[in-house]
Structure 1
Amino acid sequence: MGGKTLQQHAAERAEELPGAEMSHPFGAEWDVYKVRGKVFMLQTATTGTPIVTLKSAPEDARALRSAHPDITPGYHMNKKHWITLHPGGGLDADLIRELVTESYLLVLENSVPKSQWPVDPRTFGQEP
C-alpha cells in the first residue's frame, strides 16, 4: 500500500470527499467521519488492531466478506449494513478508496435530505 496504513488510506480518501468532516464524539480513540451529520466511516484501534468500519449495501457486504478475509461484519454496528476492514495486506489502496467512497455515497443518498447533498451520489466521480 505504498508505505501507508489502512487507516491512512481511508482517512485520506474521506478527507477528499465534499462535505466530509471528522470528529471524536465517542472519545479520542474513535475517528468518526460524517457527511451532513451522518456517519459514513469510523476508525479505531481499541480492538488492538487499527480497523476501519464503513457502510455497505447488504449484498455488496456479503460479497466483500466472502472474497476478502480482511473484511468482516461491522464492528459494533449493524452487521448487515456495515463492514470492517482489517490490516493484513489483502486490501489494496484502490479498493480501500472505492469502499470509502461507496460508504459516503450510500449514507448521502439514504440518510441526508437531497437539498443538503454536497454532490449528487448518482453522478459523483463520473467523467463529464
Structure 2
Amino acid sequence: MDILSFREYCLAKKGVTETFPFDEQTLVFKVMDKMFALTNVDNFVSVNLKCDPEKAVTLREEYEAVTPGYHMNKKHWNTIEMDGTISDNLIISWVDHSYDLVVSGLPKAKKLALQSLKE
C-alpha cells in the first residue's frame, strides 16, 4: 500500500477530513474532528491507528510490524510499519476498526450529524 491508496481509502469514509495539526509532514485523518489515523506524508513508512486495548496487545504479539503507538497513548494506539509484511487487506481492516472505534465513542450529537451526511 502506498500513501495515495491509504489517503484515498481514509478519505472515502463518511465524515472524514484530513489535516496537518502538528507539522507539515504529519497527515492526520479525523472523523467528526476525532483522530483515527495518522502518518508521515513525506516518508510513508508507518501509520498510527487507534485500536481496542486488548486487540492492540494481541496484534503486537502476532505481528512484528505492529508496535505500541509512536508518540501516542500506547494503550489505545498501534504503529504499523509499512514494510510489506502485512497485507493491504489487513491494514484496511485495521483502518476500519480504528474508524469504527472512534465513531462509537462520539457524542450522540456528532453521531447523528455523521449519520445525516451523504455517502
Aligned length, in residue pairs: 113
The 2-side partners of 1:18 and 1:49 are apart by: 23
1:1-128 matches, cutoff 5 A: 4-5=1-2, 7-44=3-40, 50-110=45-105, 112-117=106-111, 118-119=114-115
Instruction: Give the TM-score, by structure 1 length.
Output: 0.80
The alpha-carbon deviation at position 36 of structure 1 amounts to 0.8
Letter of the 1:40 partner, please give it: F
Say if 1:72 and 1:85, in contact at 8 Å, map to a contact too.
yes
What is the identity, as a one-letter code, of the residue corresponding to 1:75? Y
User: What TM-score results when the alignment is normalised by the length of structure 2?
Assistant: 0.86
Cα RMSD (Å): 1.7
- Give 1:45 deviation, angstroms: 6.3
Residues 68-107 of structure 1 deviation map (CA, whole Å, 9 limit, x = unaligned): 1111100100111100010221111111111111101111
Residue 36 of structure 1 aligns to which amino acid in structure 2?
M
Identity of aligned residues (%): 35
Distance of 2:59 and 2:65 partners within structure 1: 9
Equivalent residues of 1:53, 1:84 under 8 A apart? yes
In structure 1, stretches of 5+ residues that fail to align are 120-128
The answer on whether the counterparts of 1:13 and 1:101 sit within 8 Å (CA) in structure 2 is: no
The 4+ residue runs of structure 1 with deviation greater than 4 A are none
Distance 1:80 1:108, change over 3 A: same
Q: 1:45 to 1:69 in 2, by over 3 A?
A: farther
Change in CA separation of 1:69 and 1:80 when aligned onto 2, cut-off 3 Å: same
Residue segments in structure 2 that go unaligned for 5+ positions in a row? none
SS in 1 for 2:61: helix
Kindly indicate which of the two structures has a greater share of residues assigned to helix: 2
* Cα drift, residue 28 of structure 1: 1.1
